[in-house]
C-alpha cells in the first residue's frame, strides 16, 4: 500500500507542478481563462497569480511523507473547485477555454476535461482516505535510500520518458498543423487520379466539384463560440434563412484579408442570409480577430472535424446551407469564389459559379462530349461549333426534371430563330428518354462522366457553350435557373 500511495502522490505532484508552472509563465492567458469561467473581473488578476502558487504549494506538500496528507487535502479541494466550476458552465451550455496547463495545452473545456479532473480528485481522495496515519514513504527519503547507480538509472529513465513525451507532443501538434494540407493532398490525388486526371470510359476528364452533393442533408455540428456559448447548425437556421459557412483560420493570410469584407456582408445582408465563420486555433487568436473586425458568429472546431464533414480542403472556403438544412452549393474556394457564392445566396446572381474561385469572365474550354444518341449514332459537342449550345444535364427519373419538361417542350416548339441550340445529356434507359418527346438531340451518359467534367452536381443543371467551344455562362442548377438559361437571349447569358 505504501508504494501505491507514493505513486498516487507523485502523480498528483507532477500534475500540479506542470499546471502551476505553466500558468505562471502564461499569466495573461490564465487570467483570461479564469474570466471565461465566469469569475468577476475584479478577481481574475489576483487569482491568476494565487491559483498557480497554490498548485505549486500543493505539489511541494505531496512529496514529503510528513505533509503528504495535507497536500492531498489541498489537491482534493482545488480539484473539487475545478469540477464544480466546470460542471456549472457545461450545464449552461458553455465551453470555456481550458488553460489548465497554460500554453502547453489550450482548448475548449468539455466533458473529457471534467472526467480528467474527476479522476485526479478520486486519486487525491484515495490518498486522503488511506494516508491519515501515514501516506506512504517519503519520496525524498526513498530517493536517499537508493544507491548512486539506482538514482542514475531512475534519472536516465525519466529523461528517456521525457524525451519520448516531448517527441509525441511535437508529432501530435505537427500532424494537427498539417491536417488541412494532408486532406488537401488526398483531395487532389482523388481528383487527379493519383498522377493524372482520371479519364472516364468516354475519354472525358472528370474533375468533380468540391464538397457534398447539392440537396444532401447538411452535416449537423455543435461548436463552442468565442463567448462561452454553444451553437449548432439547427440554431443557425432558426431564423428561416440560408446559412453561409465560411471556413477560416487566424493565421491564414487570405482569410485575414477577407475579414473586413465579411463584416460588411454580415451588416448588409443580415435580412437575407446568416453568415457564420468556422475557425480553429486558440480562442484568444480568434477573439482578437473578431473584436478587431466586429465579426459575429465565430465558431471553434477542435481540429478539422467540420471541415472534413463538409468536404472543405483549404481556407478560406465557403459553402451554402439552404434554409431547409440541405446543401445549397459546392465548396467555393478563395475570395473570388466566396464573393460569387455570396452574390448567389442573396439573389444578385441566379446561378452558381461554374468554376469555383475563378475570375469572372474568364474563358474555359468545354470538355469534349462524344456520346451515343437515342438511335445509337455518336453525337459530339464539336458538331455545334459556330453556334451557341446549352448543354443540359438530365435524368428522366428526376422529379424536378419531370416538372420542368412541359415548359422545356413548349420552348422547343416556340423558340426564336436566334435561340441557342440544346443538347440534352441524360442518364437512364433509352426508352425512358425517348418517351420524354424532346425534339432536341438527347445523348446517353451511361457512366455519368460528362456532368462531373462540367462541374454539374446533378440534374437538372445546365451551362452555355459558345461558338468557339468555351464555357460562356455560370452553371445553372435547379429547374428555375435552367429554364432561365435556356430561354434567355444568348447575348444576355454571357458571364
Q: Treating both helix axes as pointing N-terminal to C-terminal, what angle do 2-25 and 65-91 enclose, rounded to 10 degrees?
A: 60
Q: What is the pLDDT of residue 248?
A: 93
Tell whether the model's pLDDT for residue 13 goes beyond 70: yes
Residue with cell 505553466: 22
The CA dihedral of 257, 261, 263, 269, to the nearest 10 degrees, is: -160
Q: What would the pLDDT profile of 368-411 be if each residue is shown by its tens digit?
A: 788 999 988 988 888 888 888 999 999 988 888 888 899 999 98
CATH class given for the domain over 222-345 = alpha beta
Q: What is the pLDDT of residue 246?
A: 95
Mean pLDDT, rounded, of the chain: 78
Average pLDDT estimate for 80-95: 77
Residue with cell 487570467: 31
Contact 197, 206 (CB under 8 A): yes
Average pLDDT estimate for 34-59: 81
Average pLDDT estimate for 442-468: 83
Average pLDDT estimate for 242-253: 90
Helix H or strand E segment including 389:
strand 389-394
| Residue 461 β-bridge partners | 393, 477
C-alpha 390/C-alpha 475 separation (Å) is: 11
Confidence of residue 475 (pLDDT cuts 50, 70, 90): confident
- Against a cut of 0.75, is the pTM above it? no
Confidence of residue 199 (pLDDT cuts 50, 70, 90): very low
Q: C-alpha distances in angstroms, 419 versus 222, 274, 285, 380, 488?
A: 50, 38, 55, 20, 8
Contact 461, 482 (CB under 8 A): yes
Q: What would the pLDDT profile of 214-224 be if each residue is shown by its tens digit?
A: 778 899 999 98
Of the candidates 76, 54, 55, the residue with the CA atom closest to the CA atom of residue 130: 76
* Peptide bond between residue 328 and the one before it cis (omega within 30 degrees of 0): no
Q: What is the pLDDT of residue 495?
A: 39
Percent of the chain having pLDDT more than 90? Answer: 17
Of the candidates 486, 483, 485, the residue with the CA atom closest to the CA atom of residue 474: 485
Q: What is the pLDDT of residue 197?
A: 42
CA angle, 297 then 173 then 186, to 5°: 80
C-alpha 192/C-alpha 208 separation (Å) is: 10
Q: What would the pLDDT profile of 266-322 be if each residue is shown by its tens digit?
A: 999 999 999 999 998 888 888 888 888 889 889 999 888 899 899 888 889 999 999
C-alpha 224/C-alpha 247 separation (Å) is: 15
Beta-strand (E) ranges in 427-481? 442-444, 461-465, 470-471, 476-477
Q: What would the pLDDT profile of 19-44 be if each residue is shown by its tens digit?
A: 888 778 777 667 767 776 777 777 87
Q: What is the pLDDT of residue 191?
A: 43
Contact 55, 19 (CB under 8 A): yes
Q: What is the pLDDT of residue 491?
A: 43
Q: CATH 3.40.30.10 in the chain, residues?
A: 222-345, 364-493
| DSSP secondary structure of 30-77 | HHHHHHHTT--HHHHHHHHHHHHHHHHHHHHHHSSHHHHHHHHHHHHH
Tell whether the model's pLDDT for residue 178 goes beyond 60: no
Q: What is the pLDDT of residue 228?
A: 75
Rg, Å, the chain Cα set? 31
Q: How many CA atoms lie within 13 A of 27 on its CB side?
A: 9
CATH class given for the domain over 364-493 = alpha beta
Amino acid at each position: 500500500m505504501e508504494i501505491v500511495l507514493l505513486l498516487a502522490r507523485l502523480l498528483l505532484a507532477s500534475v500540479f507542478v506542470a499546471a502551476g508552472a505553466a500558468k505562471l509563465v502564461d499569466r495573461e492567458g490564465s487570467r483570461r481563462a479564469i474570466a471565461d469561467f465566469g469569475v468577476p473581473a475584479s478577481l481574475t488578476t489576483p487569482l491568476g497569480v494565487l491559483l498557480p502558487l497554490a498548485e505549486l504549494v500543493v505539489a511541494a506538500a505531496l512529496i514529503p511523507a510528513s505533509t503528504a496528507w495535507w497536500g492531498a487535502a489541498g489537491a482534493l479541494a482545488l480539484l473539487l473547485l475545478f469540477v464544480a466550476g466546470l460542471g456549472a458552465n457545461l450545464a449552461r451550455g458553455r465551453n470555456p477555454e481550458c488553460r489548465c496547463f497554460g500554453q502547453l495545452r489550450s482548448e475548449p473545456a468539455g466533458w473529457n476535461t471534467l472526467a480528467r479532473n474527476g479522476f485526479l480528485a478520486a486519486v487525491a481522495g484515495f490518498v486522503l482516505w488511506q494516508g491519515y496515519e501515514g501516506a506512504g514513504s517519503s519520496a525524498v527519503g526513498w530517493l536517499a535510500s537508493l544507491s548512486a547507480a539506482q538514482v542514475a538509472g531512475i534519472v536516465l529513465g525519466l529523461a528517456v520518458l521525457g524525451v519520448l513525451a516531448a517527441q509525441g507532443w511535437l508529432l501530435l501538434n505537427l500532424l494537427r498543423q498539417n491536417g488541412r494540407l494532408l486532406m488537401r493532398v488526398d483531395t487532389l490525388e482523388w481528383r487527379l487520379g493519383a498522377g493524372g486526371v482520371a479519364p472516364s470510359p468516354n475519354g472525358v476528364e472528370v474533375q468533380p466539384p468540391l464538397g457534398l452533393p447539392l440537396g444532401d442533408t447538411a452535416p449537423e455540428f455543435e461548436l463552442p463560440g468565442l463567448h462561452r456559448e454553444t451553437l449548432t447548425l439547427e440554431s443557425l437556421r432558426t431564423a428561416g434563412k440560408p446559412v453561409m459557412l465560411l471556413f477560416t483560420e487566424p493565421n491564414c493570410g487570405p482569410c485575414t484579408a477577407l475579414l473586413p469584407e465579411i463584416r460588411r456582408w454580415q451588416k448588409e445582408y443580415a435580412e437575407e442570409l446568416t453568415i457564420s465563420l468556422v475557425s480553429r486555433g486558440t480562442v484568444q487568436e480568434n477573439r482578437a480577430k473578431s473584436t478587431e473586425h466586429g465579426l459575429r458568429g465565430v465558431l471553434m472546431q477542435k481540429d478539422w472535424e467540420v471541415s472534413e464533414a463538409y468536404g472543405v480542403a483549404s481556407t478560406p472556403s465557403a459553402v451554402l446551407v439552404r434554409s431547409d438544412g440541405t446543401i445549397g452549393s459546392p465548396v467555393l474556394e478563395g475570395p473570388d469564389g466566396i464573393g460569387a457564392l455570396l452574390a448567389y445566396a442573396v439573389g444578385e446572381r441566379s446561378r452558381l459559379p461554374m468554376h469555383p474561385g475563378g475570375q469572372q469572365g474568364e474563358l474555359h474550354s468545354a470538355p469534349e462530349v462524344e456520346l451515343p444518341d437515342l438511335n445509337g449514332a455518336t453525337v459530339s459537342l464539336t458538331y455545334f461549333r459556330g453556334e451557341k449550345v446549352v448543354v443540359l444535364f438530365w435524368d428522366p427519373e428526376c422529379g424536378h426534371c419531370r416538372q420542368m419538361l412541359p415548359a422545356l417542350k413548349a420552348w422547343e416548339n416556340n423558340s426564336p430563330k436566334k435561340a441557342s441550340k440544346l443538347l440534352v445529356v441524360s442518364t437512364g434507359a433509352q426508352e425512358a428518354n425517348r418517351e420524354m418527346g424532346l425534339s432536341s438531340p438527347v445523348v446517353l451518359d451511361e457512366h455519368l462522366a460528362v456532368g462531373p467534367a462540367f462541374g454539374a452536381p446533378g440534374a437538372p443543371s445546365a451551362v452555355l457553350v459558345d461558338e468557339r467551344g468555351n464555357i460562356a455562362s455560370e452553371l445553372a442548377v435547379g429547374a428555375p435557373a435552367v429554364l432561365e438559361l435556356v430561354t434567355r437571349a444568348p447575348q444576355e447569358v454571357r458571364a
